[in-house]
Amino acid sequence: MSAAPLRIERDVAMRTRDGVALRADVWEPEGAPPGPAILWRTPYGKEAALPCGFLDPRVALDRGYRIVVQDVRGTGTSEGTLEPWLQEEPDGVDAVAWVAAQPWCDGRVVMAGYSYVGATQWLAAVGAPPALRAIAPSISSDRYGEGWSLRGDVLELGILSSWIAAGLLPPEQRWMDDVERAWTATDELVALAPWAEPWFRDPPDQAYWAARDVRARRAEITVPVLSIGGWYDVFIGATLAAHAASRHPWDRLIVGPWAHEVQVMQFAGERNVGFAANAAEFGLTARVCDFYDAILDGREPPLPPVTAYVLNARRWWELDAWPPTGARERELPLPHGGAFPADPAAPVPALGGRALRLWAADPGYGIRDQRALAERDDVLAVPLAPLEADTLLAGPVRARLDVAAEGGPLRDWVVTLAVEAADGRWDNLAEAVVRAPVDAPEVVVELGDVCIQLDAGQRLVVLVAGSSWPRWRPVATAGRQEVRGGALTVTVAG
C-alpha cells in the first residue's frame, strides 16, 4: 500500500443544471498530480459508503485513482427532493462533467457502486457524458420494473416496502425499530413517500416502469461495463440479462456466490461457501481497477469475459461466455405430484433465497434448509431421482408444471429448487413465481441461472407453494392448487 498521506475533503458542492447543490467527499493522495477519478453516487449517506467489499479505497488510491462519493439529490448533505431513478440521468451526467473539470482529476472518470449505486451508473451512462470511460455496477440492474420491483406482474413486496421504510424516507421518518410493519402498511408508506404510489399498483403500470428502463436504451451506452453479481443476490437475473445485452466487446462479467450484502464475504445464509469467494481473497477491487486501467489505456481488459464461482466446488471458473459454450439442456421428469391449499391470510413464509428485506431481522437472502417448509401442508415437496453421475449445472433452470386449481381468478405458483446436501439439508438454489389464471392447465416457471457442482447420488428437490411471504404480494383469494406432473429442465456444462 502507498505510504502517501490521504486527504479527504468533505461536503464539496457542485450545482446541477437546474441549480441544486449536490455534495461529495473527495478522497485523494495528498500532493499527487491529477489522475482519473472513481465516482460513487449514493442515496445512503456518503460517509458510510466506503470501505466495502466492492471497493477498497486503499487499493484504488494506491492504483492512482481519486474517489468521489456523492450524496444523490434529496439525500444526505445534498439539496433537492429524492424520487428514485427520476433525476439520476441528468444529475449523473452533470456530476461526471463536474468531477472531470476538477484540478485533481485528469479529465477521465469511471463509476462504481452496488445496488442503487449501480443504478446511478447505468442511468448516468445512458446520458453519455463525454468524460465517462467505464462503469462497474455491482449486485444491481439496468431495469427497475421487471427484475427489480416485479417478477412478471408479481410485486416484490419485501424489498420495495423495506427499502422505502428503512432506506429512502428521511432519516427522522424511518421505521428502523419495526421494518417488518412495512409488509402490511404500504398505504402508510405511500402517504410518507407519494412518489412510490405507482410501485404498489395492481396490476402494475407498465408504462411507468418502461419510462425508467435503461435496457431499452442500451444502444446509447457506449462505455464498457463490468457487471458484478451474486448467485444469491436479488438482482442476479437482471445482472445476467444486462450482460447478455452487451454491446461492447470489452464488457465483462463476474458472478460470485454472494447475496445482497456489501462486505462480500464467503458466507451465504447458513453456509460458508468457501474462502476463495471472499472479496479480499479474490482481489475484487484489484480486478475492478485492472478493468478500469485497461479501458483508460485504450486496450482490452485482462479479465476473462466471464468469471463465475462454482458452488460446492469452491472455485472460480473462467469462461468465454455465459452460459458456458457447449452447455446443453437436460429434462428431468417430476416423479409425482400432489395438492395443497393456498391462503393469503396464512401465507407460506419465505425462507432464504435470492431476496432482500432491508434492515429486517431476517434479511431474506442466502442458503437456508428448506426441509422446514416441506413439512407444511401448504407446500408440495418433490424429490427427484438421484443423479447417476457427477453433474455441473451451469445456466438456466426451468420448471414446467401440469396444474389444476380452484379459487380465482388468479393463482400464484412459487417454485423453489433445492439440492439435498451430504448432511441431509435441502439447500435452496433458486426460486421464482408465476401468476396464472386459475384455469391454466400448465405453468412454466423460469427459475433463473445456477452454477453448482453436484455429485453422483445427490438429489434435486422441487418445492411448490401458492405464496412466499413477504417476498411477493400474494393473490387476494384462498384456493386449492394441484401439481399433476411436469418436468425440470436444467442446463448442464459440456
pLDDT average, residue stretch 58-66: 95
Q: Indicate which CATH number applies to the domain containing 380.
A: 2.60.120.260
Q: Is the pLDDT confidence value at 148 over 90?
A: yes
Q: Kindly report, residue by residue over 315-331, the tens digit of the pLDDT.
A: 999 999 999 999 999 99
Q: Name the domain boundary from 319, 353, 370.
A: 319
> Do 226 and 359 share a domain, yes or no?
no
Above pLDDT 70, what percent of the chain?
A: 99
Q: Is the pLDDT confidence value at 300 over 90?
A: yes
> Do 159 and 143 share a domain, yes or no?
no
Tell me how far the alpha carbon of residue 259 is from its chain's centroid: 8
Q: Name the domain boundary from 319, 354, 382.
A: 319
Q: Kindly report, residue by residue over 167-187, the tens digit of the pLDDT.
A: 999 999 999 999 999 999 999
> Do 168 and 234 share a domain, yes or no?
no
> Do 131 and 34 share a domain, yes or no?
yes
Per-residue pLDDT, 336:
87
Q: What is the mean pLDDT of the chain?
A: 96
> Do 17 and 96 share a domain, yes or no?
yes
* Residue 231 pLDDT class (50, 70, 90 cuts): very high
**Is the pTM of the predicted complex or chain greater than 0.95?**
yes
* Residue 247 pLDDT class (50, 70, 90 cuts): confident
Per-residue pLDDT, 384:
97
One-letter amino acid at 345 equals A
Q: Kindly report, residue by residue over 112-145, the tens digit of the pLDDT.
A: 999 999 999 999 999 999 999 999 999 999 999 9
Q: Is the pLDDT confidence value at 62 over 70?
A: yes
Q: Is the pLDDT confidence value at 2 over 90?
A: no
Per-residue pLDDT, 486:
97
Domain limits at 372?
Answer: 328-492
Q: Is the pLDDT confidence value at 257 over 90?
A: yes
Per-residue pLDDT, 142:
96
pLDDT average, residue stretch 14-34: 96
> Do 161 and 177 share a domain, yes or no?
yes
For the chain, how many structural domains are there in total? 3
Per-residue pLDDT, 4:
63
> Do 135 and 272 share a domain, yes or no?
yes
Per-residue pLDDT, 30:
86
Q: Is the pLDDT confidence value at 1 over 50?
A: no
* Residue 87 pLDDT class (50, 70, 90 cuts): very high
> Do 195 and 229 share a domain, yes or no?
no
> Do 385 and 344 share a domain, yes or no?
yes
